[in-house]
Amino acid sequence: MLNIKELTIKEAGDMMKRGEITSVNLVSACFKNIEEKNKELNIFLEVFSDVLEQAKNADEMIKNGKGTRITGIPIAIKDNMLIMGKKTSSASKMLENYTATYDAFVIKKLKEAGAVLIGRTNMDEFAMGSSTENSAYGPVKNPIDPSRVPGGSSGGSAAAVVAGMALGALGSDTGGSIRQPASFCGLVGMKPTYGMVSRSGLTAMSSSLDQIGPFAKTSEDAEIIFDCIKGYDEMDSTSINFPRTRFRGVSPEPGSGEDLKKIIGIPWDFLKEGVDIEVLENFKNVVEKFKKAGYEIKDISLPYSKYSLAVYYIIMPAEVSTNLSRLDGMRYGLRKEGENLPTGKAGIFDTYKKSRSLGFGPETRRRIILGTYVLSHGYYDAYYNKAWKVRRAIMKEFQEIFKDVNFVMTPTTPTPAFKFGEKKDPLAMYLCDIFTTPANIAGLPAISIPSGFSSLGLPFGIQFSGPLFSDESLFAIEKDLRDNI
């Protein structure tokens, strides 16, 4: 019997090419784990009815020599990416009956490559959260310890890979929603450079921050998924037509004769407060292993970047307020009729109020209200405009830093996976994103890789952020150092 929990995408692809297994075998093994554990863990909101048909078609592609590195591989999809003919609810009652009329760009690319789309995974409603406790359909449990959260907002996608319900998954990352679940679940999770992967067909949360990226067990696997879904898309005005490249500071071109230093910058001032003792100890141990692996470690200062979290929680809610305004019960979304007026017709304001109050959960409503406030007359300049000025300063700060270092390294999260209900204060929950938000604010690529376990057996993750378009090198650094960590 296949051990899907240990099998990598690369290994599975090689085995299918050699005829040792089929995509149908892989799907059947995933189904077995879904049947055994999904009811308890609440990972999949829907397993697609045509999965076996997809797998049979993939086997034919491989048999006919038309397979790619991802052909026949079972992939889980976060429930905010459109798949034509399938429901896409963003884990919200507001869109519980919405059926997609077209494929998202990334879905189209996966289908063309012959990947098998297993189903749609649970998430924080409209991607708003750091724990996947905010889903309208109940929380996702961490397969490593079901009493703890898997991270958010892409918690279902991360949990699907760890639980052996898929070999890889797609998530979306607005302020850490791929990297934080990857850290909590012991996976590789990657947020690409803004614009490298099209957002067309992704339910918008915060348009200037959102990016789609992969979850996988190894960097090779994550790179296989990334290579499939990246690319220019004329349907996305922020899409970038950028050629495949490897950042020269890490991997010089063969035959170039270059022997460039590999320099990692560490902003130690970021790590002074609020970081779990074991997380900090793990981080320091990993730093020493990097040194032994031949990397130069350099202390750096990021005085503006420490404001990234504050900037994020101004810009993100503002864009949430704008993007979700269309979900009003009139044009889109759940509709609940208001009280009748003397004319016998339902009052439009009351209909709006009831539809949005019942359609959106507490966290979504909180962020809509906050975003509407910072965009309102009298506060736009005081908050929103000021946040954008600081954002530009953060971008410039990273540009200067990357003249001296190849990567910036931090823990991915300040704590390991926490227990359900442990963070009742919204501000305490928001602080989970303190290390991940700078990359989104600056549009940088960033990756979380596993770095060990706590005394309770909970995974740790370390994060690398790189210069714009250094995406390929982020995968390379994990490969370089896996044997040393």
Residues tagged active-site? 78, 153, 177
Whole-angstrom CA distances from 402 to 295, 311, 399, 466 are 15, 21, 5, 8
Alpha carbon distance 212, 196 (integer Å): 9
Write out the two tokens for 113: 């490559």
Report the relative pairing of strands 263-266 and 407-411 from DSSP bridges.
parallel
312: left (phi over 0), alpha (psi -120 to 50) or beta: alpha
Alpha carbon distance 381, 371 (integer Å): 13
**What backbone torsions phi and psi does residue 263 show, to the nearest 5 degrees?**
-115, 125
Cβ–Cβ < 8 Å for 104, 81: yes
Q: How many CA atoms lie within 13 A of 348 on its CB side?
A: 2
Which residues are paired to 465 by β-bridges? Answer: 408, 446
Cβ–Cβ < 8 Å for 117, 75: yes
Cβ–Cβ < 8 Å for 135, 94: no
Cβ–Cβ < 8 Å for 184, 460: no
Percentages of the chain per state (helix, strand, coil), in multiples of 5: 40, 15, 45
Task: Give the type of residue at 430.
Answer: Y
DSSP string across 232-299 = --TT-TT---------TTTSPPTTS------EEEE-GGGGSSS--HHHHHHHHHHHHHHHHTTPEEEE
Alpha carbon distance 323, 175 (integer Å): 17
Task: Give the type of residue at 53.
Answer: E
